[in-house]
Structure 1
């Protein structure tokens, strides 16, 4: 197996391959995947390019991408897998909002060990490997020192669309209401990858996502953890790729935030 440093380098190069397209190409055809959920031709082009690059550099490692048709089912049985969101924040990208990113993680037996998030329109790259800290544009980053909810900026994940959206959003609205009544400000960025990266970077004090899709969260969860953030499910259990929700926060406010979410639910 290639070393962790070598795999991180390959991952960063692969993410940059995707970002070159994201910086310069048009969205192309926009297809409806589900109710108010879209995929562009560029999502597919980036995924294909990154998949091909990683396949040539790390042929023994599986690949799973958000967009259908880009991986084999056997990949799920491999201990090491790359997990890609070619454009995290596709709706933002379609509307010219720069809050979007290429998000790439390497997981081993379901645990993220390498994470890269590149936001080309913000000139930001975040990366981490397990046990070696988190970095923004190669500078070490740490989670914020905020110790009260009243001084916390907290982002919340997108509201649900598609099947059962009304039921799912009842929970999201309740959590939003609880946050609005307690924290300094609530934000919705529209990119789970940037939510987690900005908790890692201290730009946000916490993020709350009432969902957990591996391509959205795997890279950011590792980066947040390596910066010192507490990352859990909403019940306080350790976060995993199979967790129901994704909560990341500075250590001092994590228990306060989890209590607030529990009371809202």
Structure 2
């Protein structure tokens, strides 16, 4: 079994390398990555710095970054980085974005560090060692009733087949609006997941599962006591079609809502 403690320290040191980049560097030229998708110069700068650091510190571990792809894959461990999760928020001056670095072992997220630079917070967790925000232990809420729940949902789809993919998302939003206290679309999967982990949200439902978006937040939410699953209720891993994190008391009620999909 992999000793995750030293790797958690390395992951924290990797994000230390990006200190100030997101908050002090101008987004610069914003490039289109497709229909209503974008990448900024900050995304590239953060990924390049973290990739370089981790290649020196852990050359035996593969690396997958959202902007420059994969290197050194093939072993049981892979770092997964989203250099700015919530780029659309960032370039529009909305402070809800994060730098998200996860570690995947055999298709399962086992470690995560997420910085929310404009909110001045760092969340971290390693499997079996608990989840923390700025050094303090965190845990999910105890909410058990849908009508008392605040639920975060992932962004609507853009790009190819977006209209047909959004039929499911709109149906989900409608079901949630009828049942829960409030629905929130914050524009950052990393933020959604750490807010579930710290009890600010009672559930997060994203009908997607890119490893750079989800790995770190999944590891943190799970260590904070969340149930993290696929849309059919099975345990979440890299092959999952969706990423659903809920406080344990809401698992069955949320699964009941998902039958519409």
Superposition TM-score tier, normalisation by shorter sequence: over 0.9
TM-score normalized by structure 1?
Answer: 0.96
CA RMSD of aligned residues (A): 1.2
Gaps of 5+ in 2: none
Runs of 4+ in 1 over 3 A off after TM superposition: none
Spell out the pairing of 1:119-158 with structure 2 (5 A cutoff): 119-158=116-155
Cα deviation, residue 3, structure 1: 4.0
Does the 8 A contact of 1:19 with 1:102 survive in 2?
no
Give the match's secondary structure for 2:169.
helix
Contact preservation (8 Å) 1:147, 1:252: yes
Match of 2:30 in 1: 30
Deviation of 1:2 (Å): 8.3
Match of 1:170 among 164, 167, 170: 167
State which drifts further: 22-31 or 146-155. 22-31
Task: Tell me, in whole angstroms, the C-alpha distance in 2 between the residues paired with 1:208 and 1:180.
Answer: 13
Query: Do 1:16 and 1:118's aligned partners in 2 also have CA atoms closer than 8 Å?
Result: no
Distance 1:16 1:190 in 2: 24
Instruction: Return the alpha-carbon distance in structure 1 between the equivalents of residues 223 and 110 of structure 2.
Output: 10
| Residue aligning to 1:192 | 189
Query: Is 1:93 aligned to 2:87, yes or no?
Result: no
Structure 1: runs of 5+ lacking an equivalent: none
Please say which of residues 77-86 and 153-162 is displaced more in the overlay: 77-86
For residues 9-29 of structure 1, the C-alpha deviation after alignment (integer angstroms, 9 at most, x for no partner) is 110111122242112101111
Deviations 1:101-123 (A, max 9, x none): 00001111121221001001001
Give, in whole Å, the separation in 2 of the partners of 1:147 and 1:19: 38
Query: 1:19–1:118: 8 Å Cα contact kept in structure 2?
Result: no
